[in-house]
Chain A
Amino acid sequence: GAVVSQHPSWVICKSGTSVKIECRSLDFQATTMFWYRQFPKQSLMLMATSNEGSKATYEQGVEKDKFLINHASLTLSTLTVTSAHPEDSSFYICSARVLDPPSGDTQYFGPGTRLTVL
């Protein structure tokens, strides 16, 4: 199946600093990637949709100036959390859209990045 990687898997940073998270499709090209955040024991909440070569589409309530998304190539999307604060601590997960006949048109997820802001 399609493999999506994320880096780093875990990051701790000081309040006020910026953190970049990378999402890569390893064995396929992904024109569309998605960024989610997940709080403990809660479900995934879509933050934004990232399309290669164009601006990301953010969900209502997500600050686009705080969560910068760049999808510069067909295999890489990045999420930068700017001026991070403790309330930004969460599990960030990316996914990539895959057109796979047996499975249809769906999303494959990366392993997630745990961000802790001190």
Chain B
Amino acid sequence: QKEVEQDPGPLSVPEGAIVSLNCTYSNSAFQYFMWYRQYSRKGPELLMYTYSSGNKEDGRFTAQVDKSSKYISLFIRDSQPSDSATYLCAMSVNQGAQKLVFGQGTRLTINP
């Protein structure tokens, strides 16, 4: 069993829809949770960073962490074609940004 599970998709939605992306994990020691966006043939770009359980909002993006269920989510409101990318969840045990463990990534397409 992988430490971090993420549905690879592909996921295709119409422009303006609310997108929900999810990851589950098995290691209860994870405390720091991140979402990265990666465009084709580019490096990942940090979108959201959260510590422990709770919600965090930044513009059209909301990250949720439920440590009791070992489940994290990223919501994208008013989705745009420019949001089309692969979204990777990542998590770590220590704050030292050491040993990020990534999910497989979900490939998202927003259709105009």
Contacts and interface: CB of A to CB of B under 8 A. Distances in A.
B42 A111 contact: yes
A22 to B, nearest CB: 14
- Which of B46, B49, B107: most chain A CB closer than 10 A? B46
Chain B facing A: main interface SS: loop
Contact of A106 (B43, B46, B88, B107): B46
A108 B102 contact: no
Contacts of B100: 34, 44, 46, 107
Nearest to A32: B97
Interface string B76-106: 0000000000001000000111111011110
Interface string B7-45: 010000000000000000000000010101000011111
Contacts, number: 60
Given A41-B8, A43-B105, A104 B44 contact: no
B61 interface: no
Given A43-B88, A43-B105, A93 B43 contact: yes
Interface string A30-47: 001010000001111010
Interface of B: 6, 8, 32, 34, 36, 41-46, 49, 51, 88, 95-100, 102-105, 107
Interface of A: 1, 4, 6, 32, 34, 41-44, 46, 49, 91, 93, 95, 97-98, 103-112, 114
